[in-house]
Amino acid sequence: MAFKNWQIGLHLQQQEAVAVAIVRSAKECLLHRWWRLPLENDIIKDGRIVDVQRLANTLLPWSRELPQRHHIMLAFPASRTLQRSFPRPSMSLGEREQMAWLSGTMARELDMDPDSLRFDYSEDALSPAYNVTAAQSKELATLLTLAERLRVHVSAITPDASALQRFLPFLPSHQQCLAWRDNEQWLWATRYSWGRKLAVGMTSAKELAAALSVDPESVALCGEGGFDPWGGGFCSSAAATATRWRLCHRAGAGAWEGVLMNPPINFLPWRQQRRTAFLRFWLLMFVAPLLLAVGITLILRLTSNAEARVNAVLLQAEQQLARSLQITKPRLLERQQLREQRLQRQRQRQFTRDWQSALEALAALLPEHAWLTTISWQQGTLEIKGLTTSITALNALETSLRQDASFHLNQRGATQQDAQGRWQFEYQLTRKVSDEHVL
């Protein structure tokens, strides 16, 4: 409940301030808290706030107990209001024109400046007329100043007696009038009217019924043995029955405003606020799609412009890079050619070193009585010719050539003995490592 809206009714009486807080759920409203704050006798007199600062100092500790999400319905003394009934004008008026017409009519009726009055009206259910309830602007300004000093949110200021009309549907069918009293006054309400009577010389509900010209049996009195505003399914509470009756008797009709979603009379400019909210809603409904379309168009245009700028920058960079490459291309080609020439020379030197080591290894394979007479290289074949003094040396040479790590023995040529008794030999060898990479 701490996170739900508290609806609070506050009734400022002569000797005390009484407040009731309820919390509404989906199916019911729950009596959540109530307060009774004693007041000094000279702070409020005859329903008028005499000392706003002292009253604010008294209520300040109470206001600090309220959650941030709350709505206060503030009771206004019925004794400080005036009620008039005016016939409807012959022509149909809009709400603003109707408010202006009623303001002027009420001011002329009371011979007062229209700016000095605050009023609210409702349609008369029995005749084509408006029931207007007015109060002085300065007294309402005092209440608003009090709310500002307490830093509370006031959503309605309504006459305390009119709050009783919201409980009439919960009365038995034979009772049509609801009344509440304290030591000084009676507050009463019927379906079509409400008001206040002094308690002097009027001590019972029967005397009140006689003053109102109604049947005494039709009057329900708030108090023990009478109407229970917290019972009958209207509002539930965890309080004991005796405590609830005591609260019902002492709280006052004005404190019950906390249970009213729409008070019958509200001196705050709720019609203007409703109209402003209505216009704001439809303005938002019409303007929002337009703003959305403009926003989307603007975003698309900005995106397109950004893409165009990015493409222009990339194109300029590519053109600059192309010009730089054109300028540096001859130098790069020259460097590449020099590098290839240097690598070719390195490969050639390595090839020469490889042949040197291969030929040295080939010479080391020759037996002691063998020597070479001819070495030729042609078409990837190394052809060697030589002489040995014996056939044994020749066989040893051939065996060594077959085991050589640098050359393959491909073909053996003719072998014959010359006139001096030496053996002539001829072999064709190929390199085991290709030399194409150096060509």
* Confidence at 114, pLDDT banded by 50, 70, 90: confident
What residue has token string 């040529």?
413
* Confidence at 437, pLDDT banded by 50, 70, 90: very low
Spatial CA neighbour of 250 closest among 186, 195, 182, 202: 182
The answer to whether the predicted template modeling score (pTM) of the entire model surpasses 0.75 is no
How many other β-carbons are positioned within 10 Å of the β-carbon of residue 389? 16
Contact 176, 167 (CB under 8 A): no
Q: What is the pLDDT of residue 252?
A: 52
**How high is the mean pLDDT of the chain?**
84
Spatial CA neighbour of 69 closest among 112, 24, 19, 18: 24
Q: What does the pLDDT look like over 126-156, one tens digit per residue? A: 888 999 999 999 999 999 999 999 999 999 9
Tell me the average pLDDT across 299-305. 95
Tell me the average pLDDT across 270-286. 89
- Does residue 235 have a pLDDT over 70? no
| Lowest mean pLDDT across 34-43, 243-252, 365-374, 392-401 | 243-252
- Does residue 439 have a pLDDT over 50? no
CATH 3.40.50.1970 fits 6-268, yes or no: no
How far is 103 from 117, CA to CA, in rounded Å? Answer: 8
Q: What is the pLDDT of residue 248?
A: 45
Pick 333 or 226 by higher pLDDT.
333
**CATH code, residues 366-438:** 3.30.1360.100
- Does residue 240 have a pLDDT over 70? no
Our CA angle for 10, 13, 16, nearest 5°, is 85
Q: What is the pLDDT of residue 256?
A: 53
Q: What does the pLDDT look like over 202-213, one tens digit per residue? A: 888 899 999 999
Tell me the average pLDDT across 413-421. 82
In the chain, pLDDT over 70 holds for what percent of residues?
90
Q: What is the pLDDT of residue 230?
A: 63
Q: What is the pLDDT of residue 231?
A: 59
How many other β-carbons are positioned within 10 Å of the β-carbon of residue 123? 10
